[in-house]
Amino acid sequence: MTKGPLSGVKVLDLTAVVVGPSCTLTLAEQGAEVIKLESPEGDLLRKLGGPAPSPDMSPKFIHFNRGKRSIAVDLKTADGMAVLARLAEQADVLVTNMRGGALKRLGISWEALRPRNPRLVFCVIVGFGSRGRHHDSPAYDTIIQGMSGFAAALGRVTGEPRYAPFVLCDHITGIIASQAITAALLARERSGPGEGGGQAIEVPMYESMAHFVLTEHMFRRTFDPEGATGDPRVMNPDARPIPTQDGYIAVSANTDAQAFAFFDAIGRPELRDDPRFNSVVARFRNVDAYFTLRAEALRQRPTAEWAAEFRRREIPAMPYATIEGLLEDPHLWETGLLRQEVHPTEGAMTGLGRPVTFSAAGPDEIRLAPRLSADARGVLAEAGYTETEIESLLGGAVVAPPAPVIPG
């Protein structure tokens, strides 16, 4: 179990696929105990996230659901809802990304649970905010990328609208939700005796990503209704890994000191006094010319030579890496982000550690992703169910028994 600043916080996780699990993964990595309450069919990502030794343990599921315990409950039954209610009574946080209509049909709401647990932080991650016209429309990452201007921003660079090759909106919204939850937990701790301190949180994907895009690219429309949108510096087609003689390198020389050192490195010290490039403002106004000369210069030498030269001059630069290259980066193994693990059913695998470190937390000992309902008996026993009651719930299909291990 991971120790961290959220040790002792119990999270009831009613989320699936990516946006919710990315939120609860962050909480688990920070020490929270996360109980993943799944449907009897299991989280869709178990099957949607790629092939694996077991058919319900996809690579994506494994990485997004580390540090969690699983219990599969049929919430369409009265007994299943009773299990949910009992677990919610003992939880500090409940997180869900079910659509509003489904929550309403099941009777899951902060108002319904608050009398039984006034300290509960109830977080709903939704596609669209409840005050807007799209409030109960279905949403996936690609829908939000298309609506929020993210695909359009990529289109300005590539020539046509494109999705990022990541479920980026899910990731970002999940992280936003985890931060909102910890803020609510802090507020709860500051509440007075008898105040309860719990509250409901709504985290909308669309508004979160529109905020993300507009913070970056509202640009001159911030002041002028007729002004241009889009930061031309980051939307420039040459804002990318730069070709060298034998590969690519990532370079970012933004301050005057960095830019002037870059001019020296490429053998063009006279550019320090060029009115197009002699200040941050000048280089911003002439970003096309700045990026063009940068690209032309870097083609003249191999990547390793440029990396050594830039390191010597303290210019921010690093060699470009492929996804395969990341898995071979010794730095990531040294820091523990990458590590060899042995899953009890999936066997040897490359695992991901906690990227953030806490001085008081000690080593990252997070549990590996669970098989479906693997922790049902333990979770029910901790909730106060007797052995007879547990057998009844498992035998009556209210709670799914642990998924069988399928020999590879």
Mean pLDDT score of the chain: 95
Q: What is the mean pLDDT of residues 297-326?
A: 97
Q: Which of 316, 302, 305 is closest to 262 using CA atoms? A: 316
Residue 402: which pLDDT band, with cuts at 50, 70 and 90?
very high
What are the start-end ranges of the E strands in 91-195? 93-96, 121-126
Q: What is the mean pLDDT of residues 348-355?
A: 95
Q: Which CATH class is domain 10-212+330-395?
A: alpha beta
What ranges do the domains of the chain cover?
A: 10-212+330-395, 242-319
Q: What is the mean pLDDT of residues 48-70?
A: 95
Q: What is the mean pLDDT of residues 137-145?
A: 96
* pLDDT 10s digits, 297-307: 999 999 999 99
| Whether the predicted pLDDT of 317 surpasses 80 | yes
Q: Which CATH class is domain 242-319?
A: alpha beta
| Whether the predicted pLDDT of 220 surpasses 60 | yes
Residue 408: which pLDDT band, with cuts at 50, 70 and 90?
low
* Domain 10-212+330-395 shares a fold with domain 242-319: no
CA distances from 267 to 216, 272, 397 (A): 34, 11, 74
Query: Measured between alpha carbons, how far is 109 from 198 in angstroms, rounded to an integer?
Result: 13
Cα torsion 182, 186, 191, 197 to 10°: value is 10
The pLDDT, as a whole number, for residue 363 is 78
